[in-house]
Structure 1
Amino acid sequence: MTLRNPKDVLDYLSRSFLAVAGITPLVYILACILLTFLFVRTKRRHLRLPPGPRPLPFVGNIRQLPATYQEVTYTEWGKQYGDIVYARFFNTPVVVLNRVHIARALLDKRGAKYSGRPRFTYVGDIVKWKHLVMLPYDAQWRRQRRWFQTALLARNTLNSYEALQSKEVHTLLQDLVREPKEALSHVKRYAAALMLGVGYGYSPSSVDDEYIRNSEEAIHLTLDGGGPGAFVVDFFPALKYLPACLPGMEFKRRGLRARKLVRDMEHIPLERVQREMAAGTARACFGTVLLEEAMSGGKGVLSEDEEQEIASALGILYLAGTDTTTSLVSAFILLMVLHPDVLHKAQAEVDNVIGNAGLPALSDQAALPYLDAVLKEVYRWTAPAPVGGPHQLTEEDEFAGFDMPKGSTVLANIWAMSRDEEHYPDPETFAPERFLGVTEEVAQTRDPHMFVFGFGRRICPGRVLADSSIFLAAANLVAVFDIRPARTLDGKEIIPVPAFTSGTVRSPKPYLCDISPRSRKKVDLVLGTTAPW
């Protein structure tokens, strides 16, 4: 047997160590750290690495990184050490990119080198959730990427979703008229319904839908706590071989619970589509397209691997689309509560363009420049995916005089980019006017669409659908409702303090607000038997 690198050695030794009775996870971790340290210490002395925080022996910089809101720490490191920061988490080299132009130079222009994905043992091997976002840069990834580009970027396909988007935003407005206090739940149902409609041709009646509840629990067990890379097994993969009953193995017990929920999340709605296709009642959707393609050429039965790949692709469509859309629409409502002057300007613009006889449609977007600026500022200020998806450098590289080690995890710190004072003076202030009255070149440079959806070959394929769905929701909310602070029983306003969750997606924490129709005519438009478009 020939062992050529530290990972091979650690994996081999782990299998041997685990055969020894009584070994504990702590002892194993310490042994791995020592071996890893000895392997890499000499090699890295000769590299011209970017500056970064001084690592501690064995563990590197992991102790200097908080468990939550890591994007803030990365931003502080950037201010101290520069636009490119090097750190080490145990044996994993990490390169943090804090400026848009650097991320584009590396992740966009050198995509062949920077399109890998780190291996996340917890999600991939314990939960066994292998989908487009987590796949390495290989043939399977390219095949799934082609699926998503056809389903989410082709203009004729996007046009086919407009009826679904109009239907679901109309339902959102009706829900808000009838139950305004449940605004955030209605927003989540809207986002979920769009993704379920696109993926499976299915529309949930409420956020209490069984599929949505099951999916939320699966996502919680899989991603809460910082997302992929948040578990020690991601740094020491051989820990996955240890029995779940041992002390310190909560991550494995959690992962095994998540595995069943993820499988149900992926397969239950797909099986529904398959039954409807067999009965001739299925609605055209992403799922029917993939199933028909897989069974083309006279093939009547899917292999287990084909079915699993399709199930995983549809599952990640739901996860990625629902969380981002929910985050941004919820943040939009919060910001309208906090900035009534912005809301009033947006309402005046919508009223002038649309009038009182109808409601905004996707075709009205170009005629609403102020609302467009508001939404750009929502994207920037919220930064819903604060660190994006981690890339992996698949071969050694050199940039700006620095060596970039092969195998490095490369993080585009979208949070830092959204707070870049060179482009966004006073970045914590919500100011849509920063996008108005500027040259085309400045507008292009400042546009948060250039970074909030990621970079390079790993950029979010659903960005166009998400953007149009968020515009449609925001424009109709502005047209129909006044959005104000909630009040106490004695009439005092309750001004919400913005607070956001930490993790893969940054979403507003629950807050109170008062949403009420602007007029009786608006209510009649919303509650009419047909959508007023």
Structure 2
Amino acid sequence: MYHSSTFFDLLLLASATVILSLLIFLNYIRASRSKPSLPPGPRGYPFIGNVFDMPSCREWETFTEWGRRYGPITYINLAGEPFVILNSLDTTLNMLDAKSSIYSDRPTFPMLGETMGWDRGLVLSHYGERFRSFRRLLHRFMGTRAAVSQHHDVITRETHRFLVRLLASPGNLSSICGGAVVLDLVYGYKVKDHNDELVHIAEVASLEFSCAATPGAFLVDSLPFLRHFPEWFPGTGWKKLGREWRADTYKVVDTPFDYVQQRRVGFTAIEEGMSEHDADILKWAAVSIYFGEWRGSDTMVSSTSTFILAMTLYPDVMKKAQAELDAVVGSHKLPTFENSDRLPYLHALLKEVLRWAPVTPFGGHHRLMQDDIQDGHLIPEGTAVIVNMWGLLHDENIYSRPMVFDPERMHLADASLFMYIAMILAVFDITKAVDDCGRIIETKAEFTSGLVSHPAPFRCSIKPRSLEAVSLIREANLMEG
């Protein structure tokens, strides 16, 4: 009797266990089916995910192809680190604009941020009080038209100086010094025409920044656990390079800032009684203007070079813009900001420069601060978000013939670049170059990879439109003193 009862109890317990397990399993299946799936993307490998799928050059082309294949949101996994790449304007606005409160953080980049020190600036600053302090300072400096209008005199003066350099050396596009305007406005520093120390420091740091910010450039950004390994461990060679680049980072941060404090001029002059914390915010805000998304030095050089390339390839566009300038300004003086509202085609041309070859082919990185559901897909907390700006600006659903340079479809843009373009077109003709036998050298629209994309080296001919144009350039430079 005892043994029969025990057997029955065990059978009952086993049956209950099986039924309970089955219910749990069915509930798991039901929950799994109702839970949103991750966005589609290339199939990765175990543990490392899509590390080997990340492109090392012309990243925007791969991202655009993924957009065609997988849709507006592409999901990739870099050794456990989730990334999404956005290839749709509507989706980008729905996520980064409409839900900015949860997408305003920045991901952590071991090389660019922790190792090189750029995590102290705006570009990689995590969402919080420091980030908000940066935004307040930058808005005050150049966040409105009224604020920018206060800088028109400096922009005009530096553009006049550029015209003189271009007249003296028309084949040398390195004479473009977009950083001159920013260095003057932010630090009160006047750039020398040749071998300027601050320009050199900025160019070195900018090149290193751009290299380190390129997705997939350093293995540690795809495999963050490598940062905990000793320097003798294979795959950690980035540590020594990162220390060297960190020195260049602090050189570009500290050198112009110290110049300001010695002379008490410029946007970054420390005010009486300012705390050490506020002074640090001011110092890094200044560098953020120079390097960040505020059209600093490298981006200005790229945009102006792209404009010259476009004029070389599309002479009819150049002639139409020059005709508008001649009609509004005349040939006896240089254009000014007062002429701006009467030059709609020039504004359209400028905007098309920025669309045709975006300076930053993939926009700044964002990081999701909590789980989100977008287009029926789960975007997990901590996901890094990259906007494929090149893809958005070459979307055939928005732009007909997106690879063609066509100002007829565009509108308004940036003040500094506007003045560069207006004055160049007012006094110079840009055409294809010819070789020693007089044969035309064909030019192609090719661009470098990286965070900031530049036109690949190309040859062109830049000549004054007339003797009167030469006189205008020289007179303007003399007036600036």
TM-score by length of structure 2 reads 0.88
Q: Does 1:59 align with 2:31?
A: no
Alignment of 1:16-415 (within 5 A): 47-129=36-118, 130-182=120-172, 184-187=173-176, 189=177, 191-206=178-193, 208-224=195-211, 227=214, 230-277=217-264, 282=265, 285-288=266-269, 291-292=270-271, 295-296=272-273, 303=276, 305-320=277-292, 321-415=296-390
Deviations 1:201-240 (A, max 9, x none): 1121236311121222223333316536632222444433
379, 384, 399: which is aligned to 1:424? 399
Is the CA contact (8 Å cut-off) linking 1:120 and 1:228 kept in structure 2? no
Aligned residue pair count: 444
Deviations 1:279-313 (A, max 9, x none): xxx3xx2212xx22xx44xx5xx53x544433322
Distance of aligned partners of 1:226 and 1:125 in 2 relative to their CA distance in 1, 3 Å threshold: closer
Distance of aligned partners of 1:89 and 1:100 in 2 relative to their CA distance in 1, 3 Å threshold: same
Is the CA contact (8 Å cut-off) linking 1:68 and 1:225 kept in structure 2? no
Counterpart AA for 2:349: V
How many percent of aligned residue pairs carry the same amino acid? 36
Matched position secondary structure for 1:123: helix
Distance 1:353 1:286 in 2: 35
Distance of aligned partners of 1:68 and 1:322 in 2 relative to their CA distance in 1, 3 Å threshold: same
Deviation of 1:531 after TM superposition, in Å, equals 4.9
Is the CA contact (8 Å cut-off) linking 2:60 and 2:388 kept in structure 1? yes
- Which residue of structure 2 lines up, in the alignment, with residue 460 of structure 1? none
Distance 2:403 2:194 in 1: 32
Deviation of 1:44 after TM superposition, in Å, equals 9.7
Deviation of 1:144 after TM superposition, in Å, equals 0.9
Is the CA contact (8 Å cut-off) linking 1:117 and 1:392 kept in structure 2? yes
Distance of aligned partners of 1:154 and 1:490 in 2 relative to their CA distance in 1, 3 Å threshold: same
Counterpart AA for 1:54: R
Is the CA contact (8 Å cut-off) linking 2:60 and 2:390 kept in structure 1? yes
Is the CA contact (8 Å cut-off) linking 2:112 and 2:212 kept in structure 1? no
Is the CA contact (8 Å cut-off) linking 1:167 and 1:531 kept in structure 2? no
- Which residue of structure 1 lines up, in the alignment, with residue 19 of structure 2? none
Distance 1:204 1:160 in 2: 20
Distance 2:326 2:309 in 1: 21
Larger Rg computed on CA atoms: 2
Distance 1:271 1:152 in 2: 22
Unaligned runs of 5+ in 1: 1-42, 436-446, 450-463
Counterpart AA for 2:78: F
- Which residue of structure 2 lines up, in the alignment, with residue 519 of structure 1? 466
Deviation of 1:327 after TM superposition, in Å, equals 1.1
Counterpart AA for 2:255: I
Deviations 1:410-438 (A, max 9, x none): 11111111111111112111122234xxx
C-alpha RMSD over aligned residues: 2.1
Distance 2:234 2:285 in 1: 35
Is the CA contact (8 Å cut-off) linking 2:318 and 2:425 kept in structure 1? yes
Counterpart AA for 1:135: S
Distance 1:419 1:335 in 2: 16
Alignment of 1:483-502 (within 5 A): 483-502=430-449
Deviations 1:421-472 (A, max 9, x none): 111112111122234xxxxxxxxxxx6x7xxxxxxxxxxxxxx7xx100110
Unaligned runs of 5+ in 2: 1-30
Deviations 1:367-421 (A, max 9, x none): 1122222122111111111111011110111122111111111111111111111
